[in-house]
Amino acid sequence: MGELQKVPGIENVHLERAQVEYQICADADTAIYADGAIDAADASVQINWWPEHDDTAADWYQFHYYDSAGFDCGWHRHANDHVDGLAHYQERSSDDADYDYYPTDLDYDNPTGILWETIGDRLPARLKHRYE
């Protein structure tokens, strides 16, 4: 949680209960995050991490973004029917649209590195590309 608070423009980092799981949630200040590129009043991020008990397998995760303009996207690693393998990126323009899915190969493997790679770099770059 402390690490997410360090990302410029990310605020109000807190835990939320999802069923019996806890997930990390935070708001993105749309005037600051992604250098103010987001054309929406509100934006937020949500992080889930599911440890894999089999030492030979990778942990599962979800680093996801939502905004009040309807766009949402995220980097996930879990079983799915959309791409070969576990790791993928998905996005959609509104909550009644279907997601587009793409296999991904992130640079980092550890949770903090992935946080900085996605929330700290790839996500703001994607938002700038979309909104600017």
Which residues are at the interface with other proteins (CB under 8 A)?
3, 6-7, 15, 17, 19-20, 50-55, 59, 73, 75, 78-79, 89, 91, 100, 102-113, 116-118, 120-122, 125-126, 129
Contact 79, 87 (CB under 8 A): no
Minimum distance from residue 130 beta carbon to other proteins (Å):
9
Minimum distance from residue 17 beta carbon to other proteins (Å):
8
27-to-7, 30, 51, 54, 60 alpha-carbon distances in Å: 11, 9, 25, 33, 23
Cα distance between residue 82 and residue 85, in whole Å: 9
Minimum distance from residue 12 beta carbon to other proteins (Å):
16
User: Which C-beta is closer to other proteins: that of 54 or that of 98?
Assistant: 54
User: Which C-beta is closer to other proteins: that of 44 or that of 113?
Assistant: 113
User: Which C-beta is closer to other proteins: that of 66 or that of 122?
Assistant: 122
Cα distance between residue 31 and residue 11, in whole Å: 12
State whether residue 20 is helix, strand or coil.
Answer: coil
Cα distance between residue 127 and residue 116, in whole Å: 15
User: Which C-beta is closer to other proteins: that of 68 or that of 129?
Assistant: 129
Minimum distance from residue 97 beta carbon to other proteins (Å):
15
Cα distance between residue 27 and residue 46, in whole Å: 9
